[in-house]
Structure 1
Amino acid sequence: MTKTATLQQALTRFLDPAGLDRHRQRVCTHLLACRTEVMGGMVLQCSDCAHVQPHYFGCRDRHCPQCQGRAIEQWAERQQANILPVRYYHVVFTLPHSLNGWVQLHPEVIHRLLFQSAWHTLRMFGRDPKRLDGQMGMIAVLHTWGQNLSQHVHLHCLVPGGALSDDGNWREARSNYLFPVRALSRHFRGHMVSALRKVATAGDLHRVTWPGDVDEQLNTLMTTEWVVYSKDCLEHTPAVVRYLARYTRQIAISNARILTVDDHQVILRYKDYRDRERHKPLILDGKEFVRRFLLHVLPKGLMRVRHYGFLANRCRRQRLVQIRRALAVVEPAPDADMAASEAEPTYTCPHCRQPSLQMIGILSPQRPSCGPPPNHQEQRYRT
């Protein structure tokens, strides 16, 4: 079994389109068509050894484990270019599992409130005159799964350790946890529950139909300890950036983690954090594997990565210049490697191992027998 066929094989064997909403059906159609003749492609020939082979296009769907590799690398390089010479913190805001049902019923609402509550919490602590008394910045990446594909909704946040004051000075955070974690957790919980109560009153949680469920759930949430993790990453900030980058355009499962697919089950590898992070096999019934995978298909248009504060897109360039000036550091020059990474890809010949494959023809897409047409994103290769 080839590595690139494992998820496609599992979907082919166990996917039942009946009962799926239109968006999930379309995502599955893209994944099944990815890098097959359905997508069309190019005919490549090696200029050294004359080897000829087809190259099929990817589906470019953000849920596909085979696509987005170059986009992930480019995103990481852009974030590395914006790294400041300060201490950074890795902060994680986690939703209680009791909200998982609401996440499936109203994913747009719950995810939006999660982002808003996490940023509101950090912004208020940063603006506190007794703490940093300034504007903070944050990069937040939504992550919805655990190692066993269960639903585990949380935000990974990369936070520069300090704030830009109103007078243009940089106020540095000096602790190894940014702010007291218990205080962060209580504030995050209070803001999130209050926001949920407001949207419920406005009728935005209309799919929650069980009588009294909203009030009972919110009252229970206020008596539950919420999990917030915060730790400095002074020595390994680039590694955290690369860690976040992996989840900007991929989801749930990579082909490398799927060990076996047969007629009845799927065996995948997972990391058991409760047992010293040992890698173990997990056996799932085929339909259960597909069900868990589809839990993490995000609604169309939902932004998984968001920037806040002085890292927001509208003001990032100006604010970073101000901060570097306050820190008395030189503005970095444009990175030539980043420009090179955005150039057209080269293709290595599998026969002679040289990057000498060149296009000599095109392969037209073949429409599948059923379902919507593939999301063809590679028209630039066509003549």
Structure 2
Amino acid sequence: MENNPSFQSLFGHHTIQGFNPYSRAVFSDLASCHTAAKGYHLSRCDSQECGNMAHRYHSCGNRHCPNCGSIRRDEWIAARTDELLPTAYYHIVFTLPHELNPLIMGNRSKLFDLLFQSASKTLLRHARMPEYLGAEPGITMVLHTWGQDLSFHPHVHCIVSAGGFDGKSWIDAKRKNNRFLFPQKSLANMFKAMFMEGLEKDSSITWCGDKNSILKAIRFKKWNVYAKAPFGSPDRVVEYLGRYTHKIAITRHRILEVNATQIKFRYKDYADGSKTKQMWLTHREFVRRFEQHILPKRFVKIRHFGYLRLQGKGERLAVIRSTLNMEPKKPKVKIPFQIRMLEKYGRDIFKCPCCKTGRMTVIFDTRDKANRKPKPIRSIPAPS
């Protein structure tokens, strides 16, 4: 390790060689992001008086990368904003007890799926009860696996609409003057029962330790379902989506210092009144904690339920908008990367940084097939 390592250089720590192949591949992406290993493109100013040339290294595009994902996040948020309806939206969090952490680590895909299933069924069953709504709400769920100190803390954040769709018409929220959507205790009890039922019935789960002891430890414990007051406006919903949907375990703005042996970062201690504190970790411990939050390959961490479920969503939303006398949804428009950069940061990525008037034009890109080195031709022995 170099004397003054950067945050990104930690993703090349030698202990990563002991991780599984997929985790090693993820860390390789993160370590090589915006370096020559990912290729580059060369641009030249189109002004004859200037002729400035510049090259930029490519990003890795990995969903766990602290450098990547902001543009994809903005595109995703824009699409979700078009689906907002004139109703209140609630924020609900379903958390699994920490006694299950070792079991989840050994069965990530199965138990993450079970977490989604149990939480979504809990919300949908409550919503279908006539006294609460009598319809299906729109639900967006996002899986997070971390605490602020990078500890393993699996939970799902949910955005739930107060109103819903009964298959024919829109049903307005019944608790317009209350500060909760469904009773918190009822949510927690049903969520616990559903998750434990799935846990006990799934014979494919690999148990680490005594199964009966683990079940006993969580059966008599109070499970945590956190229900917040409704968002103040659709804008707040969008703000929430931006902060949570494409978030990763730790981002650059929380890193305070990296020296030859340790890394220091900022975190909130929710157990101590959400006070902001600082933590030192060795490089080895930092990459160990970070690796816990690499999701299984191709695992979908953002899911939709209720009237937002993917099958038939477009037709369903069109019917809902019609019953609410809303204008039809506008056709989706793909906004180019350079326009999003200009809107968000006020930066024209094609303006020449040297003369300020010319336009930078790409003249070479390692991603172009024509620029790739041909594979060596294997010689074929002549027939005898």
TM-score interval (norm. to shorter): 0.7 to 0.9
Q: CA deviation at 1:144?
A: 0.7
**Correspondence list, 1:43-192, <5 A:** 43-47=42-46, 49-174=50-175, 175-192=178-195
Report what 2:200 is aligned to.
197
Q: Is the 8 A contact 1:10 1:261 kept in 2?
A: no
Q: CA deviation at 1:232?
A: 3.6
Report what 2:380 is aligned to.
none
Deviations 1:222-280 (A, max 9, x none): 21111111224332443343433444444211122212111110011222334554433
SS in structure 1 of the partner of residue 303 of structure 2: strand
Alpha-carbon distance in 2 for matches of 1:379, 1:295: 35
- Judging changes above 3 Å, is the alpha-carbon distance between structure 1 residues 80 and 187 closer, same or farther for their aligned structure 2 residues? same
Report what 2:211 is aligned to.
214
Q: If the length of structure 2 is used for normalisation, what is the TM-score?
A: 0.85
Deviations 1:139-193 (A, max 9, x none): 1010111111111111011111122124424232423211011110110011001
SS in structure 2 of the partner of residue 296 of structure 1: coil
Q: Is the 8 A contact 1:24 1:297 kept in 2?
A: yes
Q: Which has the larger radius of gyration?
A: 2
Matched, 1:339 2:335: yes
Alpha-carbon distance in 2 for matches of 1:197, 1:186: 17
Q: CA deviation at 1:15?
A: 3.8
Report what 1:11 is aligned to.
11
Unpaired runs of 5+ residues, structure 2, are 342-347, 373-384
Q: CA deviation at 1:382?
A: 6.3
Deviations 1:59-79 (A, max 9, x none): 111111111111000001100
Alpha-carbon distance in 1 for matches of 2:76, 2:356: 28
| Structure ranking higher on relative contact order (CA contacts 8 Å, 6+ apart) | 1
Matched, 1:356 2:359: yes
- Judging changes above 3 Å, is the alpha-carbon distance between structure 1 residues 227 and 89 closer, same or farther for their aligned structure 2 residues? same
- Judging changes above 3 Å, is the alpha-carbon distance between structure 1 residues 166 and 247 closer, same or farther for their aligned structure 2 residues? closer
Letter paired with 2:201: K
Report what 2:220 is aligned to.
223
SS in structure 2 of the partner of residue 159 of structure 1: strand
Q: Is the 8 A contact 2:258 2:264 kept in 1?
A: yes
Q: Is the 8 A contact 1:189 1:226 kept in 2?
A: yes
Match of 1:318 among 303, 307, 315: 315
Letter paired with 2:185: R
Which is worse superposed, 265-274 or 82-91?
265-274
Alpha-carbon distance in 1 for matches of 2:358, 2:107: 48
Q: Is the 8 A contact 2:122 2:187 kept in 1?
A: yes
Letter paired with 1:289: F
Report what 2:382 is aligned to.
none
SS in structure 1 of the partner of residue 7 of structure 2: helix
Q: CA deviation at 1:52?
A: 2.2
Deviations 1:36-69 (A, max 9, x none): 1011110123446543221111111111111111
Alpha-carbon distance in 1 for matches of 2:71, 2:252: 17
Matched, 1:25 2:28: no
Q: CA deviation at 1:360?
A: 2.2
Letter paired with 2:252: N
Report what 1:371 is aligned to.
none
Q: CA deviation at 1:325?
A: 2.5
Alpha-carbon distance in 2 for matches of 1:181, 1:286: 40
Letter paired with 1:220: A
Q: CA deviation at 1:330?
A: 2.6
Alpha-carbon distance in 2 for matches of 1:276, 1:120: 32
Q: Is the 8 A contact 1:271 1:277 kept in 2?
A: yes
Structure 1 vs Structure 2 CA RMSD: 2.6
Q: Is the 8 A contact 2:263 2:282 kept in 1?
A: yes
Alpha-carbon distance in 2 for matches of 1:47, 1:265: 46
Report what 1:373 is aligned to.
none
Match of 1:294 among 291, 294, 316: 291
Alpha-carbon distance in 1 for matches of 2:115, 2:80: 23
Q: Is the 8 A contact 1:135 1:309 kept in 2?
A: yes
Letter paired with 1:357: M
Alpha-carbon distance in 2 for matches of 1:153, 1:325: 39
User: Percent identity of the aligned residues?
Assistant: 33
Matched, 1:270 2:272: no
- Judging changes above 3 Å, is the alpha-carbon distance between structure 1 residues 343 and 379 closer, same or farther for their aligned structure 2 residues? farther
- Judging changes above 3 Å, is the alpha-carbon distance between structure 1 residues 236 and 266 closer, same or farther for their aligned structure 2 residues? farther
Alpha-carbon distance in 1 for matches of 2:116, 2:165: 21
Alpha-carbon distance in 2 for matches of 1:58, 1:67: 7
Letter paired with 1:184: L
- Judging changes above 3 Å, is the alpha-carbon distance between structure 1 residues 308 and 360 closer, same or farther for their aligned structure 2 residues? same
Letter paired with 2:125: M
Q: CA deviation at 1:327?
A: 2.4
Unpaired runs of 5+ residues, structure 1, are 365-377
SS in structure 2 of the partner of residue 102 of structure 1: helix
Q: Is the 8 A contact 1:170 1:326 kept in 2?
A: no
Letter paired with 2:134: D
Alpha-carbon distance in 1 for matches of 2:105, 2:193: 22
Report what 2:277 is aligned to.
280
Letter paired with 1:359: V
Alpha-carbon distance in 1 for matches of 2:223, 2:192: 7
Letter paired with 2:20: D
